[in-house]
Amino acid sequence: MALNDLKSNPPRLVLGVTGSIAAFRAADLASALSQAGIQVDVVMSREATKFITALTLESLSKRPVITVDDEPIIEGIPAHIALADAADLVLVAPVTANVLAQTALGLAGDVLTSLLLATRAPIWMAPAMNGKMWEHPATVLNVETLRGRGVEFIGPDTGLLACGYEGSGRMASVAEISHKVIAFLRPPK
């Protein structure tokens, strides 16, 4: 990936993928957004690679995928800085309670959280976690903190969760997320 690739005409989305069972839905999201003419650069947490492969997301986004174990230098600039500067929007889908908390605290322990701290682009998050985790006072406070900094949340939805519980915490649908991203990055003229 060259720095010139980072300044292209299509709108630029950085899609952060974290370690939730909902990570498999990032494949459909990357595909839908790429087909809509959005350049999608994927950054995966280490935990996300346990649920979905970088190769899958690279095949669907048609872009190199950055993982915690493989952060390239782009013309002398670490990828997390280059992508943070080039992004028109950063979307973390799914975002786990852990990454949500790290972001609220301003921690930068890996490529994704470093990018979230470095970017000045709008940040959107699509939570996916157990309902008790979503409703925990710590998570509620972290969401309030992030909203206070301008982070937008899509979802979560209510329904049957992967853990077998029913309740809030289910990642919003790919259709809902992609519709909102497309409307933001490719507004009607």
Q: Specify the 3-state DSSP secondary structure of 126.
A: strand
Q: What is the mean pLDDT of the chain?
A: 91
Q: Which residues contact 179 (CB under 8 A, 6 or more apart)?
A: none
56: its two tokens: 């899958």
Instruction: For 24-88, give the DSSP string.
Output: GHHHHHHHHHHHTT-EEEEEE-TTGGGTS-HHHHHHHHTSPPEETTB--EETTEEHHHHHHHH-S
pLDDT for the residue 26: 97
* Measured distance CA(88)–CA(133) in Å, rounded: 30
Q: Each residue of 48-57: pLDDT tens digit?
A: 999 999 999 9
Q: Model-level pTM?
A: 0.92
Q: How far is CA 74 from CA 4, 58, 64, in A?
A: 10, 17, 12
Identified catalytic residue from 101, 117, 163, 182: 163
Q: How far is CA 71 from CA 62, 92, 116, in A?
A: 17, 18, 15
Contact 38, 182 (CB under 8 A): yes
The answer, yes or no, to whether residue 152 has pLDDT greater than 50, is: yes
What sign does the CA torsion over 111, 117, 119, 122 have? positive
pLDDT for the residue 161: 65
Q: Is 163 marked active-site?
A: yes
- Residue ranges of the domains in the chain? 3-185
CATH of domain 3-185: 3.40.50.1950
* Measured distance CA(6)–CA(9) in Å, rounded: 9
pLDDT band at 168 (very low <50, low <70, confident <90, very high): confident
The answer, yes or no, to whether residue 1 has pLDDT greater than 70, is: no
Nearest to 88 by CA among 33, 32, 14: 14
Which amino acid is present at 62?
K
